[in-house]
Amino acid sequence: MLDSLQDGLRSAFKTLRGQGRLTESNMREGLKMVENALLEADVSYSVVKDFMQNVTDKAIGQDVLKSLKPEQQLVGIVQQALIDILGGDSDPSLHLKPDVTVLMMCGLQGAGKTTTCGKLARLIGTEGKKTLLVAADLQRPAAVQQLHIVGESVNTPVYSEEGASDPIAVCQNAVKHARDNGIDVVILDTAGRLAIDEELMNQLKTIDLKVQPDQVYLVVDGMTGQDAVNSAKAFNDALELDGVMMTKLDGDARGGALLSVKHVTGVPIKFIGVSEHMDGLEPFHPDRMASRILG
């Protein structure tokens, strides 16, 4: 995961470690390599700028160079800056209510929304809770069928209505069905499109308004870099997201979206998809991810 970013940061630290004595000038050289590693990972420019400002002020300004182990201190400073940029102490808890909790899942087509709905149902199931998946993507005929297949693979019932054309009614009926049947969590698999358009956003806003989900999540494809950040911005403007679930970080994702999305949109990452299998969803902890990136 994020191999090239890891390599880039490692070589920056290695350069510094090789120096007999650290000076402001070789510290700046090491920091430049950190900056390049972030830019090469496709991290948003504004994020890189803020990140470097933060790190440089600490590394050059606070007697780090006079300390006994300046390079270790630099690693600590970069680690803390990574934690901050990844969301600080944001936690991935779903904050389930004692009765029914409704989670609304949104995303562009192909981002991994339906797969993530299944993964989430599986994860919630491991905590002994009952989940109902709801087929609210009525845009694509195959979507309802796909959710049934996913539901079966994670032993979770799927609510769908044959021939339905109103996703709002489907969601409302599903929530009622969940209340009547002792379900703990309802996951709404809403429609996706190839691109953000007004019709899609209006449909999602209406579901949000009429069904009043407890939490709204956006699923984005981590391999799409800045596009993932831009769609998070657009969905958050329309829906006030509670969190992002970023998929496909097992692929050759460079990490730009992962490092940019919270800082650019203010929306924390809650879960990450790390395989196409149903057990490939991990709760996201900024501190653990920062340690993983720094190896």
Q: Which of 62, 110, 179, 212 binds ligand GDP (CB under 6 A)?
A: 110
Q: Which residue's CB is nearer to ligand GDP, number 73 or number 116?
A: 116
Binding mask 208-247 for ligand GDP (x = CB under 6 A): ---------------------------------------x
Among 2, 113, 231, 271, the residue binding ligand GDP under the rule CB under 6 A is 113
Q: Which of 255, 273, 286, 293 binds ligand GDP (CB under 6 A)?
A: 273
Residue 139 as a binder of ligand GDP (CB under 6 A): the answer is: no
C-beta of 248 vs 262, nearer to ligand GDP: 248
Residue among 4, 36, 79, 109 that touches ligand GDP (CB under 6 A):
109
131 near ligand GDP, judged by CB under 6 A: no
The least distance separating ligand GDP from the CB of residue 151, rounded to whole angstroms, comes to: 13
Residue type, 8: G
What would the 3-class secondary structure string for the chain be? CCHHHHHHHHHHHHHHHCCCCCCHHHHHHHHHHHHHHHHHCCCCHHHHHHHHHHHHHHHHHCCCCCCCCHHHHHHHHHHHHHHHHHCCCCCCCCCCCCCCEEEEEEECCCCCHHHHHHHHHHHHHHCCCCEEEEEECCCCHHHHHHHHHHHHHCCCCEECCCCCCCHHHHHHHHHHHHHHCCCCEEEEEECCCCCCCHHHHHHHHHHHHHHCCCEEEEEEEHHHCHHHHHHHHHHHHHHCCCEEEEECCCCCCCCHHHHHHHHHHCCCEEEEECCCCCCCEEECCHHHHHHHHHC
The encoded tokens of residue 184 equal: 């703990």
CB of 136 to ligand GDP, least distance (A): 12
Q: Say whether residue 151 binds ligand GDP (CB under 6 A).
A: no
Distance CA 267, CA 257 (A): 12
Closest distance of CB 283 from ligand GDP, Å: 14
Q: Is 268 in the site for ligand GDP (CB under 6 A)?
A: no
Least separation in angstroms between CB 259 and ligand GDP: 17
Using the rule CB under 6 A, which residue among 50, 161, 227, 250 binds ligand GDP? Answer: 250
Nearest-approach distance from CB 244 to ligand GDP, in angstroms: 13
Scan residues 35-64 and list those touching ligand GDP (CB under 6 A): none
Strand partners, 107: 219
- Residue in 275, 278, 282, 294 binding ligand GDP, rule: CB under 6 A: 275
Task: Work out whether 112 is an interface residue with ligand GDP (CB under 6 A).
Answer: yes
Binding site for ligand GDP (CB under 6 A): 107, 109-115, 192, 247-248, 250-251, 273-276, 280
